Chains A and B, each alone.
Chain A
C-alpha cells in the first residue's frame, strides 16, 4: 500500500529538491571546474587556456603558507573542539539540575553568523590585548591564530556537544551497570564502554570539525582579514583574495584553480578521516 503511494507521488517529493540541488549545487560545481581551465572576467565569456592556471597557483607565493596554516588550524581546532565538546557533554549527561539550560546556552553561539561573531570577538580580544599591552590581532600572526581558534571553539563546541549528548544518552545503562558489577572503575567505563559505543558520534563530529576548520572563511575575514601581511590568512581567504584583490583577468582563473585544488584536498582528508574513525565503530 505504502509502496504504491510512493510510486505515485515520488516526483512531488524528489523533483523540487533534485532541481534545487542541480541548479544550486551540481551545475555551478561543474561550471566552476570548467572555469578553472579558463581565463575570464565574467562567467559569460571565457577563453579556454588548459592547465596554465594550475601551473600558476604557486606564482604569488601566498598559497603554500596559507595551505600549511590551514592544515595546522584544522587539526588543532578539531582536537580542541572535540575534546572540550565531549567533556561538556559528559558533564551534562550526569543528570544534575539545570542541565537543559546549560545545553541551550552552550548551543547558542552556533546561531550567530560567522562575520558578526568575527567582529564581536575582534572588539573583545583587541580590548583584552591592549589592556595587557600585547600587539593587537592585526599585528601579530600568533595572536590572530589563537584568536581564530578561540572564536571557532566558542562557536562550534555547543553544536558538537549536542551530538555527543545524543550519543551518550544512547549508551545502554545495562552495559554500564554490568561493568560496575564487574568492578570497573569510572575511568574504565569511560574508555572501554562509553567511548567505543559513541564512535559514530565521534566520526561525524571529527568530520564536521575538520572540514569546518579547512573551509573557515568568514571568521578569518572579519577577525583578522589575513593581517599582518597574510600571516593569518587561511586557504579560503587566500582564494578569495586571488580572485578579487589582484588586477588582470588571468587571476580569476588562477583563483578558480586554487579552489579546485582546495576542494580535492578537503575531500581527500575527509575521506581518510571517515575511514579511520568508522573502522573503530562497534556494533552493540
Chain B
C-alpha cells in the first residue's frame, strides 16, 4: 500500500467517524444519553487517531521522496535536507490544512475525554460543535481543493520547498505555533456556543475554558513574534513587520483575544459584561477563520503569496455559517444576558478594562479596514489603491500608546475604584519613573515625540509592575515570614495568574521600547563599493573584503564578505544572493550581526557579475531590535506562569501553624 493510499484512506475514513460523533454528541446532550456520549467520545478519539495516521503517512511520503504525491513533488526534492523535509508538512496549502485538522482533532479528543466529565451537558454540547468543525476540515482535506494526497505522474525530481522556506530553522516553529494558537481558540468558542444553545446565562463556559484561552493567546502571540523574527532574518529588507495582509490576519484575532483575557476578569469578579465576552469569543474565532481565508484564498497579494485555489469559497462559506449561527444565537439569548448594574466608577479596574477593550477593538477594526479597503474600493469603483505602512503606523501607534498607558494604571486600581489620596500615593513613583524614562530617551538621542512618549510610558508601566511585585513580596514576608526569594517564588506559584500577567506586561514593555527605538534610530546606507573599500555607517566601518561564488548541496551563492569594525564591533558578515536550481530570480540572504545594543544588518543588493570587482551593499544599523525577540520570550514565560495550575491551598490549620510557633518576621 502506498503512502497516498494509506493517508487518503485514513482521512476518508475519519470524515464519517467525525460526522457520526457530532450526531452522537448532539443526541447525548439533548437526551442525556450515556451510550450516545460514549459513542461520541470514541468517535472523537478514533478521528484523532486516523488524522495522526494521515499526518504520519504524509511525513513518510516526504521523507521517502514519494513524488507520486503532488504535494511531495511540489514541496520536496531529493536534495532537500531532512530537517526541512520534515517541516515541509506545512510548507503549502494542503499540508497546512492537514496540520490544522490534526490540532483541531487533538483539542476535540481532549474535550471528549476531560471536558465531558467535568461539565457533562455543557461539555457534550461543546464536543458536538467541535466535531462539527472537525468534519468540515476533514471535508476540506478530502476534496480536490485541499487534498494533500492527490496523485500525479511522478517527475524525476521534485521542485523542492520554496527557497524562502528552507533558509531558516524558525520555519519549524512559526507555523505550528500560529496554528496551535488559532485552533485552540476553537475550544472557548465551542463552549460559548454550547452555553448559548443550552440557554445557560452563567459563566461556567468561561471558567471552564479560561486556561485554553490563555494558552491559545500565548501560543498565537509567540507565534506572531516568531514570524516577525523569521521575516527579519530571511526576507532581507531589514524590517520585522510590514502590515502585510497575512501579518494582519494573525494579529487581529490576537488583539481581540487580549481584550477578551482582560474582560473575562471583569465577568469573574463582578458578573458583568457577559454578552460582551461572548461577542469577543465569537469575534476572535471568526477572525481566525477570516485570517485563514485571507491567507489561503489568494484574494489578497502578500508575502505568503499562496496561489489562488478553490479552497477560498469553501472557507468563506464556513465563515458565513459560523457568523450567522453564532451571532444569531447571541442575539436570541441576549435578553437573559443583560447586566445588572453599571460597571462602576471611572477610576476602577473594571472601567479601565472596559476602556482598554474599546481601544483593542478599535485597533482591530482599523487593521481589518485597512486590509480589506483596497478590495472594497476596487469592487465599488474599479479603482486600485494601496493601504500600507504609512496608514497603519499612523493610526495604530497612538492606540498602542493609549494601551501602554492603560496597562500602567489598570493593575494599580482596585476593583470598585479607589479614593483620590490612595491613587496619589500609588502613582507618584511610576509618574516620576515616566519622567526618568523620557529623560533617558532624550539623552540617548532618540528622535521623535512618539518614541520619547513610549519610553516615558514604558518606564511608567515597568515601575507599576515592580511596585506590585514589591508589595506582594512584602505582604508575604510579613504574613508568612518568607525570605525574599521564597516570597517571589510563591507569588508566582500561588497567584500565577496575576503575577504571570504582570510579567507579560513587562514583556510588552520591552517590545514597545524595542519597536520605538528601532523605528526611530535606524541608520541606513546604500553604497556601491569596490573590493577592499570601506563605507561608514553610523559608528561602524564596513569593508568589502571579497566577492565570491560559493556552492552548497542544493543552491549556488554569490557571497559578499564584509568586515565590520568600529564602536567595539568586530564582525564578519556574509550577505549573499542565493540561486536555486528551479528558480530564475535570486533570493537575497542578509548577513546579520545581532547585538545587545545594535544589530548590524547587511544586504547584497547588486554586484559586478563580470569581474567581482564591486558590490552594492545596503547596511542598516538597527538599535535594540534584538530586544523584540527577548520581549516575546518574556511574554511567553509570563503566559506560562499564568497558565500553570495553582498548587492546592493549604488548610487553615496548616497555614496558621508556623505563625503560632512564633517565627520572627523579616
State yes or no: do A and B come from one complex: no
